[in-house]
Every structure is written in C-alpha cells, then in structure tokens.
Amino acid sequence: MRKRDINSFRKLLTRRLEQLLMEAERAKNTVKVAEETPSDPMDQASDNVERDFMLRLRDRESKLIAKIKEALERIEDGTFGICEECGQQISVKRLRARPMATLCIDCKHEQEALEKREELEAGPQPSRLWSHG
C-alpha cells in the first residue's frame, strides 16, 4: 500500500476514534446524571430502559473502539490492509468502506458462506417439516 494511503487511513481512524471516545464520555455522563437524579416511581421504568440502552450502546462502542485501536496498531507495525486469512493485500477500495476490515473480500465471502451453511445445517429442515412420511 502506498504511504499516502496509509496516512489517510491513519487520519481517518484517529478521527473516528476521537469521535467515539467523545461520544462514550458523553454517554457516561448521561448515565451518571440518570443515576443521581431522584425520580418518582412512575419514571423509574423508563429510566431503566434508557440506562439499558446507554449501557448497550457503550458496549457496542467499546468494541468498536477496540477494533479501531487494533487497526491503528496494524498501521504502526505495517500489517494494516493485509488479510489475516490468506496474507493477500486487501483492496484500498474495500478498506475505504471498512477501514477495520481484517479479511480480504474473498476470505470474507468464504467466511460468510461458511456461517450461512452452518446456520442452515443447524436450523430446521423445511422439506422434512412438510413431508408426511
């Protein structure tokens, strides 16, 4: 990958990371305010729902933050954009759409096909459900 591309990905990922950290900080404060504000029983339920939502959001965000950090580490050690599965270069076009991708498009498709197959094998068999014999 060209140095210019690497630099643009580093910038993109760093900016995304800063954004997420800021949002995470804001979410943390919202949860804290919700905890500190005394609410009457009528509001309790909706407070809990909101807090659950914020916690789930934080969980998802923290996973995303970890992924971005990993991608930045890969940039530093020079393995960014290399498929974990086959060692081929992931296309810049794919990385622009998914900068945190660790698999090339072929391996990704293969993985998805495998997951789909496993899902089908684990699921109910429609043909058997409908047969009477």
Residues that bind Zn ion (CB under 5 A): 83, 85-86, 104, 107
Give me the least distance between CB of 99 and Zn ion, in Å please. 17
Cβ contacts of residue 89 below 8 Å, gap of 6+? 1, 81, 82, 83, 104
Closer of 56 and 109 to Zn ion (Cβ)? 109
Q: Which residue has the tokens 């060692």?
A: 87
Closer of 70 and 110 to Zn ion (Cβ)? 110
Give me the least distance between CB of 12 and Zn ion, in Å please. 22
Closer of 23 and 110 to Zn ion (Cβ)? 110
Q: How far apart are CA 65 and CA 19, in angstroms?
A: 10
Q: How far apart are CA 103 and CA 57, in angstroms?
A: 25
Report how far apart, in Å, the C-alpha atoms of 71 and of each of 32, 77, 78, 107, 126 are.
31, 10, 10, 18, 42
Closer of 55 and 86 to Zn ion (Cβ)? 86
Give me the least distance between CB of 67 and Zn ion, in Å please. 18
Give me the least distance between CB of 100 and Zn ion, in Å please. 15
